[in-house]
Amino acid sequence: MTKQYSVVGVDSVYYALVTQDDENGYVAGTPQQLSQAMEIKGTPAAASETQFADNMEHDIVTVEGPTTLEMIVPNVAEEVLAELLGAVYDSATGRIFDDANPTEAPYFALGYRFKKRNGSYRYRWYLKCRAEKPMEEGVSESDKVNLKTTTLKVTAVKTAYQFDLLGDGSRMSGVKRVHGDEDLAGFDGATWFDAVQQPSAGTPGAFTLTPVPADGASGVVVSSNMTLTFSNPLAGGREAGITLINLDTQAPVAVARTINAARTVVTLNPDSNLSASTDYAIIVHDVVDIHGQALTDAVYNFTTA
Residue spans of the chain under pLDDT 70: 201-202
pLDDT at position 202: 67
209-304 adopts what CATH topology?
A: Immunoglobulin-like (2.60.40)
Task: Give the β-pairing of 121-131 and 150-156.
Answer: antiparallel
What is the C-alpha to C-alpha distance for residues 128 and 110, in angstroms, rounded to an integer?
A: 8
pLDDT at 76: 95
Nearest to 108 by CA among 135, 78, 81, 134: 81
pLDDT value of position 142: 93
Residues of the chain with CATH 2.60.40.1220: 209-304
Pairing of strands 298-304, 217-220: parallel
Decide: residue 1, CB within 10 A, 0-12 exposed, 13-18 middle, 19+ buried.
exposed
- The answer to whether the predicted template modeling score (pTM) of the entire model surpasses 0.75 is yes
Q: Output the CA–CA distances (angstroms, integers) from residue 18 to 21, 127, 164, 231, 246, in the order listed.
A: 7, 8, 19, 22, 34
